[in-house]
Amino acid sequence: MALYGPVDRLDDAQAADVVTLASRAGLAIGHTPVGDEDWARRSGSGDDGFGAAWATGADGKLVAYVQALRSPADPSWSAELLIDADERSRTADLGAPLLSAVLRLVGQHGGGTVHLWAAGGGPAHAEVAARAGLEPHRTLHQMSRPLPTGLHSSVPLRAFVVGQDEEQALEVNRRAFADHPDQGGMTLAMLEERMAEPWFDPAGFLISEIDGRIAGFCWTKLFLGSDPLVGEIHVICVDPDFAGRRLGHELVVAGLDHLAGRGATIGMLFVEGDNTAALALYERLGFEITRTDRSWTTTVATST
Ligand SMILES: CC(C)(COP(=O)(O)OP(=O)(O)OC[C@H]1O[C@@H](n2cnc3c(N)ncnc32)[C@H](O)[C@@H]1OP(=O)(O)O)[C@@H](O)C(=O)NCCC(=O)NCCS
């Protein structure tokens, strides 16, 4: 077994090996922290917001990989660990030195808070995190249900209007997610970046307008090319001034209806483990937890 890195960019062949490892590691499509698109798109960026280290087996095949990416929003970093399915029993022994190496690079690139995400969040990842000095942080559930639901929304909704609704939607998002800074801190630049993605469709960004202001919205995302076709409730929020009137329920029903109308047969979403209001809403609508991811965190000081 040979360890490599840390490096601050990957060449195309290395990036392709990482995408292959991600699929061998058994990552589901549409998984936000370690989505395949992100591996391919960002790993070659070569700026100081990226760091990676990896291990190869005797035959030179990539078997373990750790990556850290600086968030565009703030000075925090998101780290992920991939282990080949055949090497899972060695997760802690391979993952801990790789993560420590990547943390050193993060320090050289200005430091900051690092969140390690583990798809499936098993005990081996907890061991990696502990050995590298990280503390437990968040729990994220992925929930799914079959589509269609047979339900239709009874409240008037309209599609997002590009160039008109951005600021108000961001304000509702900020107010609704005041307790969840990762989501509540979405900026215009971040929104526009997502709106430039191929999956973005204003017709799938459903707005509830009451008395001339946005009361809530349900932004859906189709995982184009997935089979079966997966549709996500990407962002759902209701302004606190309009909470508790079943608007959240109506918006999710409408979002799922829209996704089913586009051919999705699976409805999917991510929800924080401590978001009791949202969990209750989704369970009532027949969603079940299909996986649970966990994160661990540490703050890395700037080093030279
Ligand atoms: C989650 C959210 C969309 C719910 O919207 P809402 O319009 O207030 O909720 P509703 O009035 O439609 O309530 C729907 C169900 O949610 C549950 N619920 C709502 N608020 C709740 C609370 N504070 N605690 C527990 N359950 C709650 C109820 O079970 C209710 O079901 P019932 O009326 O059939 O019994 C809203 O609280 C919100 O925007 N939260 C912040 C953003 C967020 O967390 N989004 C989800 C991210 S995954």
Ligand 1 centroid distance, CA of 236 (Å):
10
Distances from the Cα of 135 to the Cαs of 59, 102, 123, 130, in angstroms?
A: 35, 17, 13, 7
The tokens describing 89, both together, are: 């029993």
Cβ neighbours, 10 Å, residue 193? 12
Residue appearing with tokens 């969040």: 121
* Model confidence band, residue 32 (pLDDT cutoffs 50, 70, 90): very low
Please give the full DSSP string across 95-135, using - where no structure is assigned: HHHHHHHHHHHHHHTT-EEEEEEETT--HHHHHHHHHTT-E
* Model confidence band, residue 31 (pLDDT cutoffs 50, 70, 90): very low
* Model confidence band, residue 34 (pLDDT cutoffs 50, 70, 90): very low
Distances from the Cα of 172 to the Cαs of 2, 23, 73, 80, 157, in angstroms?
A: 49, 37, 18, 30, 16
Ligand 1 centroid distance, CA of 248 (Å):
6
Q: Which segment of 119-123, 210-214, 231-235, 270-274 scores lowest on mean pLDDT?
A: 119-123
Ligand 1, pocket residues at CB < 6 Å: 176-177, 236-238, 243-249, 271, 275-278, 280-281, 284
Answer yes or no: is pLDDT of 30 > 70. Answer: no
Cβ neighbours, 10 Å, residue 89? 9
The tokens describing 110, both together, are: 């200005």
First to last CA, the chain: 29
Give pLDDT tens digits for 213-258. 999 999 999 999 889 999 999 999 999 999 999 999 999 999 999 9
Burial of 226 (0-12, 13-18, 19+ CB in 10 A): middle
**Chain centroid offset of residue 227 CA:** 20
To test the pocket of ligand 1, the residue of 207, 238, 271, 283 to mutate (highest count of ligand atoms within 8 Å of its CB) is: 238
Distances from the Cα of 202 to the Cαs of 56, 195, 206, in angstroms?
A: 44, 9, 8
Q: Please, are residues 37 and 135 in contact by the beta-carbon 8 Å criterion?
A: no
Rounded CA gap, 127 and 113, in Å? Answer: 19
AA identity, residue 207: I
AA identity, residue 7: V
Answer yes or no: is pLDDT of 188 > 50. Answer: yes
Ligand 1 centroid distance, CA of 300 (Å):
36
Average pLDDT over residues 177-192: 88
Answer yes or no: is pLDDT of 39 > 60. Answer: no
Domains of the chain: 2-137+295-300 (3.40.630.30), 148-264 (3.40.630.30)
